[in-house]
Structure formats: structure tokens, C-alpha cells
Amino acid sequence: MGDRGWLAVSWPKEYGGQGRPLLDQFLVEEEMALHGAPASDALGRVIIGPMILAFGTEEQKRRFLPGIARGREVWCLGYTEPEAGSDLAGVQTRAESSGDVYRIYGRKLYTSGAEDADYCLLVARTDQNVPKHEGISLLLMPMRVPGVTVRPLYNLLGLHWFNEVIFDGAEVPKSQCLGGENQGWRILTAALGLERITVYRCFLHWRAFQGLLRWVREHHRGPLRAIARQRIADLAIAFEVARLLLYRAILAWERGEDIRAYAAMVKLFNSELAQRLYQTALAAMGPYGALREGSPWAVYAGAMAHGYLSATQETVGAGTSEVQRDLIARRGLGLPRG
């Protein structure tokens, strides 16, 4: 798919894409999700690549974008720290200047995919003597260099998706600073909206909803309890709303508008929709729906139980639901700070 340009449809052709509008990229993504196509490095394609396109030097674009577009280089995000989650400006990981490189010291948590990553978009502090929002830089950090240690963190599924990453003097060339030294916060505020609409896409769960419908039709030969029918009908409505919210945000992005409030709506609605979906599925299917993959009696090879546990983190990652509501209130509705 990468060789055909399908993984980066909206990128310029010289960087491995097809030069089409961003909306087309999401239409392709939707079809891939609906048909169960294999996933590639979503973080690199839908978050980091667009940031390099918007803020990178020509040298950085030529070096990094083709590898992402063709699915040959894997990326992770070095954001969260023990004392910096929703308040990303509180990062303490240091990038100390040493000639033409930075030496990195610090610790990141819940870094998805770090165990396989070739590179990390690293948020680090390059100036300790200015207000916290002003001393942050974004570094295109190689992961397979001395001084980088990746330790697994297991999630509710018992799977190794998250990691603790420790940087102890690892070096990154200063030429791989994205957007200029101490310009990280400006870039992050511009890019967080895109992250929220690309990671929390409603159509990722549409197959599970269709599976729920099929199971209920096949196994409830008699009357179906009114509460189950109503919850399923509510989910059908919610998916329509989620899709419209997503595509409104994408069109606003293409028009160059401030999408922070729209993106917060997408992230908030979609993450809570995912949780409602799998709660409804397990309630409708009973004990069989709660069986995990590997059990011969598991419904759809345990997909519903898997989704139920996985969706637990969706209202936390990329900003909690409370953070999203605050963004909607301030950026979208013009309400004063609380």
C-alpha cells in the first residue's frame, strides 16, 4: 500500500504521497478500516508526518517522509512523563547542547510502539530559564542509539503496547530539531487538533457495531428487551453524528481554520462512543461477549472483550475528557476560564 501511495494520500508526490486533499486520505482510511485492512504506523502517518510537512526543513522532509509514507520506518511519540500528562508544558526531559548535537536526559511513560520504533518525535526542554511554554523543542530522535532504554508496560489486555523510555545521554543532531529551537509549543498547539481527529476516528469501531447488530439478529429469535433495542438505536445515531463531526473538522483544517474546538468535540464524542459501544455489546451478548481471544466460545474471536478493555484508555489518551470539554468551552464557546 505504501508503494502505491495509499498510506499518505494527501502528501505531495515527491514525499511518497498522491498530492490529494486531506479529505481523500480519510476516505481511504475509512474504507481500509471497514474492510479490515492491515494497519501501518498510524502515529507516523497521521500525526508526525503532517507535522514534518508543515514545519520541517526541506532536508528533514526528504529524509523522513518517504520512509513513513512507504511504511518502512516506524515512529512513536515522546510526550507523556511522570509529572507531565495533560499539562504537556510541564515536561522535564532535557536536551543539553553539546556542539552540533543535543544530549537527552529524562524519562517518558506510556510511549505506544516504542519497542518497534525507529524514531521518536520527542518533546524536550532546551531552555530551563524561560517560562515553561517557551523552552520546549521537538526533536526527531533516533531510537536505536546508545543511551535509549525501552521498558515494557502492560495494559489491561495484558499486551505490550505501552512503554517507559529512558534517555541517558542519547544524542540527536541539532539538524533534527523540528521547527527551530524553543518553538515546540507553537508546533504542538497547532498539531494536537490533528492528532485528536486522526487517532480517534469513529469508523475504527464501525465493524464492531455491525458485528453487534449481526449477533443480536441471529441470537435473539424472540422479543428483544426494549432497553437493548434503544441502546443499539442510540449507537446508530451516535455513529452518524461522529462521522459528521469528523468530516467537519477535516474540512475546517483544509480551509486553514482553527480546529481546536472541533477536534476536541471529535475526540470527546468518539472516545466516549467507543466505550458505550462495547458496554452495550457485552450487556447484549452476556457471558460469551466477555470471553477473550483464545477461548473456543468467544464471540467474534473475543473482539468485543478486547474492544471493551482497549476503549478504557480512550477518554485519557491525547487529553482527558475533562480537558476536551474545557477546550470546547474556551475555544469554541468563548467562555472564561474556570
Residue numbers annotated as active site: 195
DSSP single-letter state for residue 314? G
Q: Would you call 199 helix, strand, or coil by DSSP?
A: helix
Complete DSSP assignment for 119-141:
EEEEEEES-SSS-TTTSEEEEEE
Which grid coordinates belong to 134?
517557551
Residues 273, 290: Cα–Cα separation, whole Å: 19
If you search the block for the grid coordinates 528533514, which residue do you land on? 60
Q: Would you call 104 helix, strand, or coil by DSSP?
A: strand
Write the CB contacts of 133 (distance below 8 Å, at least 6 apart in sequence): 89, 185
* Residue 314 near residue 200 (C-beta atoms within 8 A): yes
Angle of the 22-34 helix axis to the 206-219 helix axis, nearest 10: 30
* Residue 192 near residue 258 (C-beta atoms within 8 A): no
* Residue 68 near residue 95 (C-beta atoms within 8 A): no
* Residue 172 near residue 64 (C-beta atoms within 8 A): no
Complete DSSP assignment for 124-186:
EES-SSS-TTTSEEEEEEESSSTTEEEEEEE-TTS-EEEEEEEEEEEEEEGGGEETSTT-HHH
